[in-house]
Amino acid sequence: MTNSKVIIALDFKSKEDTIAFLDKFGDEKLYVKVGMEAFYGQGIELIEEINRRGHSIFLDLKCHDIPNTVKSAMRQLAKLGVNMVNVHASGGVAMMKAAIDGLEEGKQGESRPLCIAVTCLTSLDQEVLDNELLIHEQLPDVVLHWAKNAKAAGLDGVVCSPLESKVIHENLGMDFLTVTPGIRLAEDSKDDQKRVTTPTIAKELTSSYIVVGRTITNAQDPLATYRKVYEEFQG
């Protein structure tokens, strides 16, 4: 377990690459995110290895299906000993409630994994909402409404842009977690995410956790870069 609120996205194509990256951190206990590519390609064995090393795990599979299917899936994910999982808020309140029920049934020990909901992906902007998804409300209003649904369903928080974190906390309280991807150091490029900010700004915007990927995983010295991000956000 770790007290770090900086979650490193392990977006590697092989288990060997993932383990080689983790080896660079020595005894440092991390909070890592295992997403679809890593989990589907490297399997439960990867989760077991990360657990063996004592790191915390956010298993980022973004479940989205009918409530009973999501409940069954979450029951199985809870058995893996991960610390955080997520669903799509657009699946609705009943689906999110079912996710919590599944986690409670499958939990290992006294507490279930944290469960958060994805609001609007950071690759989306108002033009995509209007023209592709036919959602004509303003993006911040959509995010807040879906966050309210998540809290009503008993979830622990949401995935959102740090630009929306402050208003979510103002409306739903600081105990409702905001997990914010799209984080880069100031000198990095924006890559494929349109709503991007730095660790320092994310802290000012009250993000509970930040998710950092290529800024750390592509760095010449990942440990030093991680510590720089950590210092900016939690120091």
Query: What amino acid positions are annotated as catalytic residues?
Result: 62
SS3 of the chain: helix, strand, coil, percent, to 5: 45, 15, 35
Helix ranges, 132-195 (H): 139-152, 162-172
Indicate the burial class of 65 (C-beta count within 10 angstroms; 0-12, 13-18, 19 or more): middle
Instruction: Dig out the tokens for 127 from the structure.
Output: 């033009």
Nearest partner of 211 among 103, 136, 116, 131, judged by Cα? 116
Helix 162-172 to helix 139-152 angle, to the nearest 10 degrees? 50
CB neighbours (10 Å) of residue 36?
Answer: 12
Contact present, 153 and 173 (Cβ < 8 Å): no
Burial of 227 (0-12, 13-18, 19+ CB in 10 A): middle
Beta-bridge mates of residue 178: 158
Let me know: does 89 contact 150? Beta carbons within 8 Å: yes
